Structures are given as structure tokens and as C-alpha cells.
Amino acid sequence: MSDTLKREAAAKALEDVRPGMRLGLGTGSTAWHFVDLLGARVREGLEVICVPTSEATDRQARDLSIPISDLDTLGALDLTVDGADELDSALNLIKGGGGALLREKIVAAASASMIVIADSSKVVETLGRFPLPIEVNRFGLGATRHALDGVLKKHGAEGEIRLRGADGREPFLTDGGHLILDAFFGRISQPEALSRELLDIPGVVQHGLFLGMCSKAYVAAPDGVRTLLKTN
Ligand SMILES: O=C[C@H](O)[C@H](O)[C@H](O)COP(=O)(O)O
């Protein structure tokens, strides 16, 4: 996705921001543009209070003098704007390509609504082409992988599970100090059941399926930005 398209989707989401809102700020290269544009509006006098979903977004927002708070102080938010790795027509998502899925899900769940900004290449008929990020505790990794293998098999996964960043280097660590396992499903035909089964594994901290959380998506393409709304 070109930066121009990312910025166009981000600019559209900015139109939904009202003075006084408590905002969740997403993570990733598309959310970066939203935070950047929001920073310009804050400089012009827009009053909002924001909760970032990662250390990276926290740094970006502070550099732009965007007022920052946290969920301990605010408890609930009005709106979260975030990117996604995949979205389907029901606005179910795969997120976590950048490893921020746990904080992103906590912040989105605390928000009255969630808007996703993305380009049209992220829209899929069935989720699962993008490897599903699964955040796991370091302790008991072998047992967690073993349990995950069973879940992947049951759901007809086309591929395997990979520990992120582990190819000869230190594995990738999330902001919460956990590991990420990327699971290659190919297609996820029963996302709700898969979500429950993953969360039933004690070593799984969270996964990147965001089901029923997103209310609206702005999808940018060369011929303009489309608005997708949650139907159910
Ligand atoms: O962990 C990262 C987030 O879920 C991102 O929002 C997601 O990976 C999309 O990122 P990008 O906008 O860079 O494609």
C-alpha cells in the first residue's frame, strides 16, 4: 500500500474525531499517518485525550505533543482508530503483524467504537491468508506449541507455526515481554470457534483475531476511499 493511500484512509478517519473525545491510537504504518495528522489538528487547537496501543505510538504521539493518558485513568474510550492486516466483509480482522495485538485489543475493547483504516489489498473474502499472530508466554513454550498444533490441525491449517524473529536471532518480544507465534492457516472458516479454542490454551496470552469489534472501515484504493460498515 502506498503511503498516499494510507494517508488518505487516515485523513478520512480524522473526520470522525470530535473535540473532547477520548481516543485509542493504533499501531503500524497506517495508524502512523492517523497519529501524524491528528498531531497537526492538535497543534491547531483540537482538544482530545489519547491512549496509545504501543510504545512506538506512545513515542510518536508524545513527539507531536498529543495529550496522552492511560486506561487506568480514563477507564473507557470513545473511539479507536487502527490499521489491520486483513479484514473481511463483516469487518472481522486479523491484526498483530507489528506485534501490538494485545494492547490493541485491550484498547479497542475499551472503546465505544473502532474504525479500521486500510488499503483494498487488506480486504479478503475469508480471513487467514495473513499468518495469525498468537501472543504467548515464554514459560511452557513447547507445551503451548504442542497444544496449538492440535488446534491448527483441527481447523485445517495449510501451514505451520513459526516463532517470530527466531531465525538465528533473539525472538521478537512484544511490549508486554511475550513471544509471538505466527500460525499459517490459509483460510479460517470458523473464526469464533478458533478464537475460543486458542484462548483455552493457558500459555496463549491473546491472538490477532478481532471479531465483532470494528464498526467501520475506511478502505483506500486509487479511485477513492470506500466506507465499509458493520452490518450485524
Ligand atoms: O501489530 C500491529 C497492528 O495490528 C497493525 O495495525 C497491523 O499490523 C497493520 O499494520 P500496517 O498498517 O503497517 O499494515
- Ligand 1 centre and the CA of 100: distance in Å? 8
- Ligand 1 centre and the CA of 28: distance in Å? 4
Identify whether residues 139 and 197 lie together within a single domain: yes
Q: Pick from 3, 6, 30 the residue to mutate for probing ligand 1's pocket: most ligand atoms within 8 Å of its CB.
A: 30
Q: List beta partners, residue 82.
A: 116
Identify whether residues 101 and 145 lie together within a single domain: no
Identify whether residues 198 and 84 lie together within a single domain: no
3 state SS for 48-82: CEEEECCHHHHHHHHHCCCCECCHHHHCCEEEEEE
Identify whether residues 68 and 152 lie together within a single domain: no
CA nearest ligand 1 atom 9, residue: 84
CA nearest ligand 1 atom 12, residue: 30
What CATH code is carried by the domain that includes residue 69?
A: 3.40.50.1360
Cα separation, 203 vs 205, whole angstroms = 6
Q: Using pLDDT thresholds of 50, 70 and 90, give the confidence band for residue 169.
A: confident
The ligand 1 site (C-beta within 6 Å) comprises 26-31, 82-85, 95-101, 104
Identify whether residues 91 and 147 lie together within a single domain: no
CA–CA distances in Å: residue 224 to residues 1, 9, 28, 70: 13, 9, 21, 34
User: Which atom of ligand 1 is the closest one to the Cα of 133?
Assistant: 1
Domain of residue 102: give its range: 3-123+211-229
User: Which atom of ligand 1 is the closest one to the Cα of 32?
Assistant: 12
- Ligand 1 centre and the CA of 41: distance in Å? 23
CA–CA distances in Å: residue 95 to residues 22, 132, 174, 225: 22, 8, 14, 21
Identify whether residues 56 and 74 lie together within a single domain: yes
**Each residue of 171-220: pLDDT tens digit?**
999 999 999 999 999 999 999 999 999 999 999 999 999 999 999 999 99
User: Which atom of ligand 1 is the closest one to the Cα of 104?
Assistant: 4
CA nearest ligand 1 atom 10, residue: 28
The DSSP-derived string for 76-120 is -EEEEEE--SEE-TT--EE--TTS-HHHHHHHHHTEEEEEEEEEG
Question: How many domains is the chain built from?
Answer: 2
Assigned C-alpha cell, 29 = 504504518
Identify whether residues 185 and 219 lie together within a single domain: no
**Each residue of 30-86: pLDDT tens digit?**
999 999 999 999 999 999 999 999 999 999 999 999 999 999 999 999 999 999 999
pLDDT at 1 over 60: no
Look up residue 113 and give its amino acid: S
Phi and psi at 75, nearest 5°, equal 75, -55
**Burial (Cβ within 10 Å: 0-12, 13-18, ≥19) of residue 19:** exposed
Residue 74, number of CB atoms within 10 A of its CB? 16
**Each residue of 87-136: pLDDT tens digit?**
999 999 999 999 999 999 999 999 999 999 999 999 999 999 999 999 99
